[in-house]
Structure 1
Amino acid sequence: MTSSERRASASLASIFALRMLGLFLVLPVFALEARKYPGGDDPALLGLAMGIYGLTQALLQLPLGMASDRFGRKRIIVLGLLVFAAGSFWAASATTLEALVWGRSLQGAGAISAAVSALLADLTRDEVRTKAMALVGASIGLMFAVSLVAAPVLNAWVGLAGLFALTGTLALVGVLVVWRAVPAEPAQQVHQQRQGLRDVFRHPGLLRLNFGVFVLHAVQLSMWMAVPALLVQAGLPKDMHWQVYLPAVGLSFILMGGLFALERRGHLGKLLRVAIALMALVQMGLLWQVQGAAGLWPMGLLVFVFFVGFNIMEASQPSLVTRMAPTQMRGAAMGVYNTLQSLGFFVGGGLGGLLVKSGGPHVLFLSTAAALLLWLAVVWGLALPERSAGAAKPA
């Protein structure tokens, strides 16, 4: 990478990191803390409050991505960060669960993932773009891991309202990063976006990756409708959950680094399948914990194994999208991918709450296991692009 490419990759990854850290900080404690609001005794409304962010993201990701083609990437990114900050401060001031739903929905309206990804593509050459996208994916996975460690401690100090206020502050820091650290963007050209979108929706490999990111984030969010309560059931107070998250997250990143050596040897397809299978096994393990007496050591092991699989997929899939999509389709491909990611957040929160309300945690974990097994079947024949020539080979 050139110095400009390193600067672009690091600064744009930091924007993703700041925004996603704020988003993820509320995740480990939301299901427990939001119950204290008026209306918090309704699991369905609770799930809606958690997942509504993903719905507004899904609705606005493509329009804002296309607007960045016409009006400039940086302007749209700054606008999105300001909207996200406004929603965060709204949620911080909420006194009812209904008001929290409105704040979360406004947070989601700051949909900048496609614009940030497109700007990163603008500022990097084809031969180094995969590395740049992998850095962004890894930063998101890292922020999710950090949030699971930091959230219980911060929640004990400032509460859920304080976490939302911190989220808004991080978004404002992201605005400064855009103007101060991100290199100047090149002149934009308006492409034939409708044709590009049709091509994206018809591309077999991209369809499989889009389905995968939807399932990944739906499972991720719905799990946390029940995991915090299981940890409490295992005897660990909610402000001590970091004692499980910290070693699980740290060890998963160490192991993930070793597993990615397999990718350089041409075993990426096998690695993806193993990661999905591990996450499916985790759901069955959580089901076992629900049906019996939840134990702290088994819960810690299950959280660790889930993070191994999650971090591998979170770092690999965005890179694969940029490698698989032809140059003229790359912006559209990332817009659709990010839309499905956001839709996964919404469905995971909303459906997770409904499943817990109607059937309990065991129905939730049976459903997440089934979704992951379906994903495994879909990804089994995925053709992966060669790093050099762009040709595809069976996974």
Structure 2
Amino acid sequence: MSETLTRYEKKIAAVLAGIFSLRMMGLFMIMPVIAVYGEQLSGVSPLWIGIIIGAYGLTQALLQIPMGLLSDKIGRRPVILLGLCLFAIGSLVAGMAEHVYWVAVGRFLQGTGAIASAVLALASDLTREQQRSKVMALIGMSIGLSFAAAMVVGPLLAERFGLSGLFYLTAAFAVLGMLLVYFQVPDSVSRGSNRDAIPVPAQLKKLAKHPQLIKLNVGVFILHMLLTCLFVAVPGLLVSAGFAAKSHWMVYFPALLASFVLMAPLLIWAVKHNKELTVFKLAIVLLAVAMLIVYFSQHVLVGLFAALIVFFVAFNYLEANLPAWVSRIAPAGQKGSAMGMFSSCQFAGAFAGGMIGGSLLQLSSVSGLLIFCTLICLPWLWLANNLILPIRTKPKVVSVAVASHQVAEDMAQALIQIKGIEEAVVIVEEQLAYLKVLPKQLDETALDSYINQHAKQN
């Protein structure tokens, strides 16, 4: 069996990463510019700026799981096309608007195109199980790159084409994404539920009470709340520090670049020396430190630049690790549900950050907003003290023939007796066994022998 991606899998990974990147870049480009260029809109206020920044997060959070489930019923391609169409409509509504109300409506509509679950499920449908994690990683990397690109091109394009031009460009991105789906994504896709990619409604209530997952869900909520709060305040502070809006990319880009350079060795060191939780807590502290630096240097460009570097070092570390930890903690066969809840909390945090940031800026001051952002890190740090990370495993899904729930329970018990299998769940309705394995310790011969004895007969 090939240990590398086939040419077909590379194509699928590139196409789906491209679709994801186009949409996310369209969402992100507005963040660094709306606080400055939004001042030209009728009815503008700090609260409305915050709503516009975070609006997409509310509808995305509400529809993330339902859109994934819908893709199980009508297929992945129709849901992705529908989501991109809604995103394009929202972009056009915002682009044609002259009043903040309609820009906010457009942003809410953009969020209704919640295609993340369907895209990841499609990646799962079209790739081999043993190569699936590589494809998912490539899609995940594309999100980070799209954010970095948005921080650069957003200010440049806003200066040249205005805020409306940015929204029209995001609509064009959506149309380009639809063309990629229509012409490059195969018609024939699995519509069966993959519990590692799509949420299962029956699992959500139990997972919502999972003590370790709660800590990660709260954490990603706060992380993205801080991100949107930051962009409610920082663009205006850069202008007041004497830096023209069209040149803001000259702050964001080197700050992001420096943060990646500093974050990478930190990430490697944490994994190598088993210090992931220690660096996790350090990252939360760095978020608070970044907010304090902004507080004490509100009109000093060097201070704001330093604060952005510190913030993005912490943000990038947490953004890379939190979803990976959800996968490690989620019980076998429940990764899709756990990730669905996690993503919903992430987008809800973005909306909350816009609302809270805009409200505090309007009712209080930038200083009040920054003090709030600093203090909110304290309960998160307290939660982090009680986080427990299980041993690092990999998911594995195998086909089996199982006649009843009792047989499924017996099979799961037998599977966990095989060396290297940490968890096993056998689903009768799907004729699949979901495993969490230790790759270096797994007794492949014993597993293959057992699976061959209980394989589905064609």
TM-score for both structures, normalised by structure 1: 0.91
Q: Residue 252 of structure 1: which of 253, 256, 259 is its match?
A: 259
Determine whether 1:161 maps to 2:169. no
Q: Which residue of 2 aligns with 1:186?
A: 190
Q: Is 1:287 paired with 2:295? A: yes
Which has the larger share of helix? 1
1:365 maps onto 2:370 in alignment: yes
Q: Which residue of 2 aligns with 1:270?
A: 278
Q: Would you say 1:26 and 2:30 are equivalent positions?
A: yes
Structure 2 matches for 1:93-104, cutoff 5 A? 93-104=96-107
Question: How far did residue 64 of structure 1 move?
Answer: 1.0
User: 1:11 matched to which residue of 2?
Assistant: 15
Q: Which residue of 2 aligns with 1:85?
A: 88
Q: Kindly provide the amino acid, as one letter, of the partner of residue 34 in structure 1.
A: G
> What whole-Å deviation, never above 9, does each CA across 1:13-68 have from its counterpart, x for those lacking one?
3222111111010110101111211101x222222222221111122112112111
Aligned counterpart in structure 1 of residue 227 of structure 2, from 195, 220, 225: 220
Q: Is the 8 A contact 1:9 1:135 kept in 2?
A: yes
Structure 1 residue 347: Cα displacement: 0.7
What letter corresponds to residue 142 of structure 2 in structure 1? S
* 1:225 counterpart SS class: helix
Is the CA contact 1:138–1:314 (under 8 Å) kept in the aligned structure 2?
no
Secondary structure of 2:333's aligned partner: helix
Instruction: Please list, as runs of the form range in 1=range in 2, the aligned pairs for 1:118-133 lying within 5 A after superposition.
Output: 118-123=121-126, 129-133=132-136
Asked if 1:332 is matched to 2:337, the reply is yes
Residues of 1 paired with 2:140 and 2:390: CA distance? 18
Per the TM alignment, residue 131 of structure 1 is displaced from its structure 2 partner at its CA by 4.5
Deviates more, 1:52-61 or 1:190-199: 190-199
* 2:63 matches 1:60: yes
- Alpha-carbon separation, structure 2, partners of 1:120 and 1:323: 20
Aligned partners of 2:76 and 2:191 also within 8 Å: no
| Counterpart amino acid of residue 329 in structure 2 | M
Distance 1:214 1:238, change over 3 A: same
Equivalent residue pairs, number = 388
Structure 2 CA distance for aligned equivalents of residues 358 and 53 of structure 1: 23
The Cα of 1:251 is off from its aligned counterpart by: 1.5
Instruction: Confirm or deny: 8 A CA contact 2:287 2:315 kept in the other structure.
Output: yes
Indicate how the Cα distance of structure 1 residues 213 and 8 shifts in structure 2: closer, same or farther if over 3 A, else same: farther
Q: 1:326 to 1:341 in 2, by over 3 A?
A: same
Relative to 1, partners in 2 of residues 1:172 and 1:33: Cα closer, same or farther, differing over 3 Å?
same
* 3-state DSSP of counterpart to 1:257: helix
The alignment partner of 2:43 has SS state of coil
Alignment-derived partner of residue 414 in structure 2: none
Deviation at 1:282, TM superposition (A): 0.2
Alignment partners' CA distance in 2, 1:141 and 1:356: 28
User: Alignment partner of 2:280: what SS?
Assistant: helix
**What's the secondary structure of 2:98's corresponding residue?**
coil
| Residue type of the alignment partner of 1:239 | K
CA distance in structure 1 between the aligned counterparts of 2:249 and 2:10, rounded to whole angstroms: 33
- What are the Cα deviations for residues 190-212 of structure 1, in whole angstroms up to 9, with x where unaligned? 87933211232122222222111
CA shift, 1:12, in A, is 2.6
Between the aligned residues of both structures, percent identity stands at 40
**1:230 to 2:237 alignment:** yes
Residue aligning to 1:345? 350
Which deviates more from structure 2 when the two are superposed, residues 80-89 or residues 141-150? 141-150
Change (3 A) 1:156 1:372: same
Deviates more, 1:125-134 or 1:378-387: 125-134
Counterpart residue number, 2:412:
none
Q: What amino acid sits opposite 1:360 in the alignment?
A: S
The 10-residue stretch of structure 1 (360-369 or 139-148) with the greater mean CA deviation from structure 2: 139-148
For residues 294-328 of structure 1, give each alpha carbon's deviation from its aligned partner in whole angstroms, at most 9, with x where no partner exists: 21111111111111111112222222223332342
Mark the CA change 1:171 to 1:56 in structure 2 (over 3 Å): closer, same or farther: same
User: Scaled by the length of structure 2, what TM-score is found?
Assistant: 0.79
Give the match for residue 39 of structure 2: 35
C-alpha separation in 2, matches of 1:56 and 1:175: 20
Shift of residue 283, structure 1, vs aligned partner: 0.7
Partner of 1:242: 249
Q: Following the alignment from structure 1 to structure 2, what is the Cα–Cα distance between the partners of residues 64 and 72?
A: 11
SS at match of 1:374: helix
RMSD: 2.3
Unmatched 5+ stretches in structure 2: 394-420, 424-435, 437-458
Q: 324-333 vs 305-314, which deviates more?
A: 324-333
The 1:212–1:250 alpha-carbon spacing in structure 2 relative to 1, beyond 3 Å, is: same
Amino acid at match of 1:98: Y
Residue type of the alignment partner of 1:319: A
**1:143-171 Cα deviation digits (max 9, x unpaired):** 22221122111111101100111111112
Q: Which whole-Å deviations, capped at 9, do the CAs of 1:230-253 have from their partners, x for residues lacking one?
A: 111211111111221121111212
Can you list the C-alpha shifts for 1:104-157, whole angstroms capped at 9, x where unaligned?
Answer: 111111111222233334445666555444433332222222211221111111
In structure 2, distance between residues paired with 1:123 and 1:325: 23
Q: 2: distance between equivalents of 1:120 and 1:381?
A: 34
User: Take 1:122 and 1:384, find their aligned partners in 2: how far apart are those partners?
Assistant: 29
